[in-house]
Amino acid sequence: MRISKDLPLSEITLRRYEKPFDLEGRELIRKFCLSLGLLQPGDSRDIIVDILAVLLIAKKNKEALSSAEVQKRATDYRKENNLELKGVAPSNIRRQLKKLKDIFIIECVNNNYRVSEFEDLDLIYNKKIEKFFLENIQERVREYFEAVKKF
């Protein structure tokens, strides 16, 4: 009998926090990342917050950015917010971009990154995460429930 590796085909973490009524700027983006499981509670290496912030700013101008430009702008954004320059290495920037890409928040077109189709995040969540990504995961979990029921 061959046992497959326990590597998930896909996964998502969702967390519920208080309503964002008094959050703004970087703290709002940070809570958003925590809510989507892009960032773990207590993480001091939170460059993904800055990456998403600069991509959202670029979205306003319908700009797509190279990973080098994302790195530069994220570094500048951290400096503006008086934060240490943790996690700004090019390899880490690419890893964080992949995280955002894997859950369909951003896409890569001609080696440039942008918020998926320059759409609003709530539409991306509804169309790509909730109706496609999450539904596929839920369907597979239901299959496991059925299989375990027969155990």
> Residue 47 domain-assigned?
yes
My answer on whether 85 and 38 are in the same domain is: yes
Containing 33, the helix (H) or strand (E) segment is helix 25-35
> Residue 14 domain-assigned?
no
My answer on whether 43 and 103 are in the same domain is: yes
Tell me the average pLDDT of the chain. Answer: 94
- Relative to beta strand 106-109, strand 112-115 is antiparallel
Q: What is the pLDDT of residues 129-142, one digit of tens each?
A: 999 899 999 999 99
My answer on whether 45 and 99 are in the same domain is: yes
My answer on whether 106 and 83 are in the same domain is: yes
> Residue 8 domain-assigned?
no
| DSSP state string for 108-132 | EETTEEEEGGG--HHHHIIIIIIII
Q: What is the pLDDT of residues 5-51, one digit of tens each?
A: 788 888 889 999 999 999 999 999 999 999 999 999 988 889 999 99
Bridge partners (DSSP) listed for residue 83 = none
Containing 52, the helix (H) or strand (E) segment is helix 47-60
DSSP E strand boundaries for the chain: 106-109, 112-115
- The number of domains in the chain is 2
> Residue 17 domain-assigned?
no
Range of the domain at 68: 25-117
For residue 3, name the pLDDT band (cuts at 50, 70, 90): low
My answer on whether 139 and 94 are in the same domain is: no
Bridge partners (DSSP) listed for residue 114 = 107
- Hey, what are 44's tokens? 């001091």
My answer on whether 89 and 146 are in the same domain is: no
For residue 4, name the pLDDT band (cuts at 50, 70, 90): low
My answer on whether 76 and 91 are in the same domain is: yes
My answer on whether 88 and 46 are in the same domain is: yes
